[in-house]
Homo-oligomer: A and B are copies of this chain.
Amino acid sequence: MMEIIRIPRIMQETSRHYITKSKKLGFVPTMGALHEGHLSLVRRAKDENDLVVVSIFLNPKQFGANEDLSYYPKPIESDIEKLQSINTDILFLPETSFIYPTNFCTYITVQNLSDKLCGPFRPGHFTGVTTVVCKLLNMVMPSRLYLGQKDYQQLLIIKRMVEDLNIPVEIIPCRTIREKDGLAMSSRNSYLKSKERLSATVIYKTLSYLSNLIVEKKIPCHEVKGKMKEMLLNEPLIEEIQYASIYDPETLDELDNYKKVNLLAVALKIGNTRLIDNMIVEINSVVV
């Protein structure tokens, strides 16, 4: 039976109880609107730990003034059913006022990495993410934190925060879960009208086509960006490409020359819906 905890102090006491019994907690933070991507994290956390804690908290501090906070889907009853069906042990479901009391004024910023890729398009977003994740980690006190690689920049920034602040948790990056046609699962996919949904498949097609070209050494690094944009813009419903190129997976700087491990990453808008995706491309170091 899944326990639902709504009060931060009770979450903390519950976790402390398990920790003193040497139980390992796996933790999956979410904003709800759960899809198979989230559920795969929960299943893995359940497998690898004594208990799995999932949080659902639609964090207002990671949404900009003109973003989709009020439209973001909130199917809480179906979320609860899904979590129950995969034997989640604890759902942490706090009210916003418990997470951000009126005099709240402490913020965590990971410099440099937060200014790259999505950073300029979502000012304050990553500070909102790192602040709430630090809070959640202090409330849940897990041994392991499960994060999806679909939000690659977020994963990298949280990794850096955890390392820089010596937060005692192990981060487990988990592969992106995709629809059958390759579209990365996202709660925001539900915004897409049917024609938009079809056109969104160009993202995965572009990333995997280019990954293959790169691995097969059929395209020089400096041509990747142009080719990527060309393929994406061929799809008429794509209105705005925010970024699309090849990056250093550690610094998020754009690359002029391949590294052993490279990051293809893209953010674009189809209609009003902002989609992101990425692919890690390892180049075989065998010299032909």
Copy count, this protein chain: 2
Stretch of A12-20, A197-205, A215-223, A262-270 lying at the B interface? A12-20
Query: Contact: B164 with A12, CB < 8 Å?
Result: no
User: Are A138 and B165 neighbours in the complex by a CB distance under 8 Å?
Assistant: yes
- Nearest residue in B to A99 (C-beta to C-beta)? B166
Q: Does A109 contact B (CB under 8 A)?
A: yes
Determine the distance from Cα of A135 to Cα of B12 in the docked complex, in whole angstroms: 19
Please, which residues of chain B bring their CB within 8 A of the CB of A104? 164
| Neighbouring B residues of A28 by C-beta, 8 Å | none
Number of interface residues of A (CB under 8 A): 31
**A141: which of B103, B109, B168 is its contact (CB, 8 Å)?**
B168
Contact partner of A168 (CB less than 8 A), chosen from B12, B103, B109, is B12
**CB–CB A168/B138 < 8 A:** yes
**A109, B107: Cβ atoms closer than 8 Å:** yes
Interface-side segment among A110-118, A170-178, A188-196: A110-118
Partner of A8, one of B22, B113, B134, B166: B166
In the complex, A165 Cα to B104 Cα: how many Å? 9
Q: Mark A130-154, 1 if CB is under 8 A from B, else 0.
A: 1100110011010000000000000
Complex-state Cα separation, A131 to B131, whole angstroms:
13
In chain A, positions 92-120 with a C-beta closer than 8 Å to chain B are 103-113
Q: A106-B160, A108-B108 are in contact. Are A139 and B166 (CB under 8 A)?
A: yes
Given known A-B contacts A20-B19, A20-B22, A164 and B106 have beta carbons under 8 A apart: yes
Smallest CB separation, A68 vs chain B (Å): 26
A252 within 8 A of B: no
**What is the CB-to-nearest-CB distance from A95 to chain B, in angstroms, rounded to a whole number?**
14
Contact of A111 among B12, B20, B106, B110 (CB under 8 A): B106
Please, which residue of chain B has its CB at the minimum distance from the CB of A22?
B20
> In the complex, what residues of B have CB within 8 A of residue A112's CB?
105
A161 close to chain B: CB less than 8 A: yes
Partner of A113, one of B19, B105, B130: B105
Closest approach, in angstroms, between the C-beta of A10 and any C-beta of chain B? 12
Which of the residues B8, B22, B108, B113 comes within 8 Å of A107, measured between beta carbons?
B108
Q: Which residues of B contact A135 (CB under 8 A)?
A: 164-166
16 cross-chain CB contacts under 8 A: A8-B166, A19-B19, A20-B22, A105-B110, A105-B113, A105-B164, A106-B109, A106-B160, A106-B161, A107-B109, A108-B108, A109-B109, A135-B164, A138-B166, A139-B166, A141-B168
A-B pairs, 4 with minimum CB distance: A106-B164, A138-B166, A105-B111, A106-B110
A105-B160, A108-B108 given; name 9 further pairs at CB < 8 Å. A12-B168, A16-B168, A20-B22, A103-B160, A106-B111, A106-B160, A106-B165, A107-B109, A139-B166
